[in-house]
């Protein structure tokens, strides 16, 4: 086995080499592979809730970090994977769920499962009240003026598509310009390519500048009277960079352009105030902020939502239906055709309660500390390149690092970390192929943290990464 792998790992960088270590391991019967799976008992006798976190914090108990305090709330973290304690560092892909969210979902299905907005009986009324309460919680969480500005969607991708089809196609015409950055997630690129093909609008691309972040000088100079829309991330899921959304919105509005903000990597990690940002649309996903999968939300300014036609047709989004025409409900119902994700919305509301109980500023401050620790720890690994800006007094990184190590494919690194150390990171293009091409690679490895991670998690990850590098280097 070793000789075969050594022959295959002759490629010199991730741009050209393919991942071979992981496929070799998958087809091997070697005792090198460890595939056990069992749950560890929690080191705490009771679950720490968000209120417990506050109480413990107020007691100033020694060196306990926010990560140590909140970890007991997440059952999934207390298990072994492949014979090692699980260290989950793939939070930019999805977050884990606290017991409060799991209980909210269980309670809905056990106690008041029913359809919403359609029944007068107790179960339906209770489900409707909790569903709409979740909408109010989302509105409050991002400081929207009114809950009617929050549209529940299947995910952030659907939210962006809703804007593309219901605002983009009716409002964009031949020669209009839509500005995006090369660092966007595919879900913020592909819908606008489709819209451009249908309308004749033109996509203008902001490329990378210094420190491997979108060039803000070029961004500002790209605006003209032809600019009708800007679609931009708040925090990059690859570069960990944070864009100045207030400034970008100001540039856009001076030219009468609208702004769509992809806030999937910011809403879970920092205070996001849509009134301060003044964005016209903003999208986020529940599953990245401790909530269930299969639900996200769109924030839109009331006057824009009211002027937009429906995205999907069917039940719930109508006012009256006749055989030859229909009239439509007011937002947000206009954009929520059919039975919605009721339990998931309620679970999202529970996640917001949990995060708010801790405090988003406290979460952000802790994650800034973790981000710096992760970056500085990774810098010590030989032959590593970390993408995005270095943290400074004036530049804050999100708590993630995408990286490559010379002559080693990132998928080999991720496979080794998982199978030999129980460390979960991501490898691949992270739904950002144009960005990776701009970085002259096809893939990268990514470690991403959340508030329930600790510096000990980072230390263990670095130790495991050095072990992976030593092993994989020996195969060349």
Q: Pick the catalytic residue: 35, 264, 290, 431?
A: 431
- Residues forming beta bridges with residue 84, ordered by sequence position: 81
Alpha carbons 27 and 22: distance in angstroms, whole number: 9
Residue 71: alpha-carbon gap to chain centroid: 20
Sheet strands (E) in 136-226: 150-153, 177-181, 202-206
Name the phi and psi angles at 10, rounded to 5. -90, -10
**Contact between 211 and 385 (Cβ < 8 Å):** no
**Contact between 51 and 354 (Cβ < 8 Å):** no
Name the DSSP class of 3.
H
- Residues forming beta bridges with residue 318, ordered by sequence position: 328
Alpha carbons 382 and 378: distance in angstroms, whole number: 9
Residue carrying the six token digits 């299947």: 154
Helices (H) and strands (E) in the chain, counts: 18, 18
Active site residue 35: no
- Reading the block at residue 289, the tokens are 């902020």
Residue carrying the six token digits 């720490």: 48
Three-state DSSP state, 49: coil
* Sheet of strand 384-386: strand arrangement: 384-386, 400-405, 444-448, 426-428
Q: How many CB atoms lie within 10 A of CB 11?
A: 15
Q: Any idea which residues carry the catalytic annotation?
A: 431
């Amino acid at each position: 086995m070793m000789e075969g792998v050594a022959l295959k790992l002759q490629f010199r960088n991730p741009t050209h080499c393919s991942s071979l270590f992981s496929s070799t391991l998958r087809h091997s019967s070697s005792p090198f592979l460890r595939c056990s799976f069992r749950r560890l008992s929690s080191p705490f006798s009771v679950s720490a809730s968000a209120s417990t976190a506050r109480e413990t914090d107020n007691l100033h108990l020694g060196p306990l970090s926010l990560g140590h305090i909140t970890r007991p709330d997440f059952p999934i973290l207390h298990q072994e994977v492949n014979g090692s304690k699980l260290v989950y560092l793939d939070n930019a892909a999805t977050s884990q769920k606290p017991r409060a969210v799991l209980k909210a979902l269980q309670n809905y299905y056990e106690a008041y499962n029913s359809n919403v907005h359609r029944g007068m009986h107790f179960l339906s009324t209770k489900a409707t009240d909790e569903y709409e309460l979740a909408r109010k919680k989302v509105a409050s969480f991002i400081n929207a003026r009114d809950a009617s500005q929050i549209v529940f969607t299947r995910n952030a991708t659907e939210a962006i598509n809703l804007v593309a089809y219901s605002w983009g196609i009716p409002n964009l015409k031949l020669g209009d310009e839509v500005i995006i950055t090369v660092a966007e997630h595919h879900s913020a690129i592909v819908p606008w390519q489709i819209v451009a093909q249908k309308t004749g609008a033109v996509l203008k691309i902001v490329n990378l500048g210094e420190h491997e972040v979108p060039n803000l000088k070029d961004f500002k100079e790209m605006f003209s009277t032809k600019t009708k829309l800007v679609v931009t991330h708040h925090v990059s899921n690859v570069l960990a960079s944070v864009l100045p959304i207030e400034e970008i919105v100001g540039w856009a509005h001076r030219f009468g352009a609208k702004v769509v903000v992809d806030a999937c990597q910011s809403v879970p990690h920092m205070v996001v105030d849509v009134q301060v940002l003044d964005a016209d649309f903003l999208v986020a996903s529940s599953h990245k902020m401790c909530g269930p999968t299969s639900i996200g939300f769109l924030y839109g300014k009331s006057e824009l939502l009211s002027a937009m036609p429906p995205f999907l047709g069917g039940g719930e989004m109508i006012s009256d239906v006749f055989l030859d025409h229909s009239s439509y409900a007011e937002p947000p119902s206009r954009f929520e055709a059919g039975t919605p994700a009721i339990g998931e919305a309620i679970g999202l509301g529970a996640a917001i309660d949990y995060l708010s109980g801790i405090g988003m500023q406290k979460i952000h401050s802790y994650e800034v500390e973790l981000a710096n620790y992760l970056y500085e720890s990774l810098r010590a690994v030989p032959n590593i390149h970390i993408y995005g800006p270095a943290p400074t007094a004036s530049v804050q990184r999100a708590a993630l690092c995408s990286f490559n190590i010379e002559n080693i494919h990132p998928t080999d690194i991720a496979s080794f970390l998982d199978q030999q150390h129980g460390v979960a990171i991501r490898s691949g293009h992270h739904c950002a192929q144009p960005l990776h091409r701009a970085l002259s690679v096809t893939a990268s490895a990514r470690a991403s943290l959340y508030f329930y991670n600790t510096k000990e998690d980072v230390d263990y990850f670095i130790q495991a990464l050095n072990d992976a590098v030593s092993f994989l280097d020996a195969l060349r």
